[in-house]
Amino acid sequence: MTKRQFRFYTFLFIASMIIMAIYKFIEWVATIHVMYWLIISLLLVVMLIRKRYTKRQNEKNELEVQRARLERLGNLSVLQKMTSIEFEKYICDLFIQLGYEASVTQASGDRGKDIVMYKENAFTIAECKRYVTSTVGRPHIQKFHSAVIDSNAEKGYFITTGEFTKQAVEYIVDKPIELINGEKLVVLIEQITRHSNEPVNNIEFYLKTIEI
């Protein structure tokens, strides 16, 4: 017997054993009473429901831990001491509290946007600048406006711990861009962390209630 013939007969033997095992399993399944199948099905449904419930509870607990952290660090002097990456992650988590699917972009090649967000089929972006004494001028906003257009985003949020120049504020009058300076950011954090579990959970709602 050649090696090729040996491999062929070995394959046939293994295949026949597998087929026989499947056949025996089907025979065994056929002997199980309908009541047993109902019980098994009920157990599977209960396990599935429990798994989903546990997942939701874990997500809820994670959001609560995140909310407490955001509230604890929501002080302007603390925010200004963060690194740029820490600040971007903080703002990203703030949007997550509002129900956004948000993520921080890669440090290199972000093309003028630090955070990308999705909510209710709407795509938005955000740019974060952790400044202490520096101000955000019109050139920064023009670059960000280009990023909003290139990304096909419905709106953009430019967030800084510093301030915006008059020229920057005037530039966005007719554009889908929201400017959030340090003072407004602190109030926004306070609003979101206090009311994150309420039905109205939209950043536009909170921004409209802030008078600065």
Percent of the chain with pLDDT over 90: 46
184-189: long-range pairs with CB below 8 Å, 24+: 184/210, 184/212, 185/76, 185/79, 185/159, 185/160, 185/161, 186/74, 186/75, 186/76, 186/79, 187/212, 188/94, 189/70, 189/71, 189/74, 189/94
Gap between the Cα atoms of 96 and 41, Å rounded: 36
135-144, 186-195, 203-212: which has the minimum mean pLDDT?
Answer: 203-212
pLDDT at residue 4 greater than cutoff 80: no
Domains of the chain: 3-60 (no CATH), 76-209 (3.40.1350.10)
Gap between the Cα atoms of 204 and 178, Å rounded: 9
Between 205 and 80, the more confident residue is 80
Enter the tokens of residue 161: 């711990």
pLDDT number for residue 71: 85
Determine the average pLDDT of the residues in 48-75.
84
pLDDT number for residue 6: 76
Contacts of 174 (CB under 8 A, 6+ apart): none
Per-residue pLDDT tens over the stretch 76-128: 999 999 999 999 999 999 999 888 999 999 876 667 789 999 998 899 999 99
Total count of residues recorded for the chain: 212
Q: What is the mean pLDDT of the chain?
A: 86
pLDDT at residue 179 greater than cutoff 60: yes
Terminal CA-CA length for the chain: 91
- pLDDT bracket for residue 193 (50, 70, 90): confident
109, 139, 203 from 42: Cα distances, Å: 51, 63, 42
pLDDT at residue 174 greater than cutoff 80: yes
pLDDT at residue 8 greater than cutoff 90: no
Please work out, in degrees rounded to the nearest 5, the angle formed at the alpha carbon of residue 191 by the alpha carbons of 189 and 192.
65
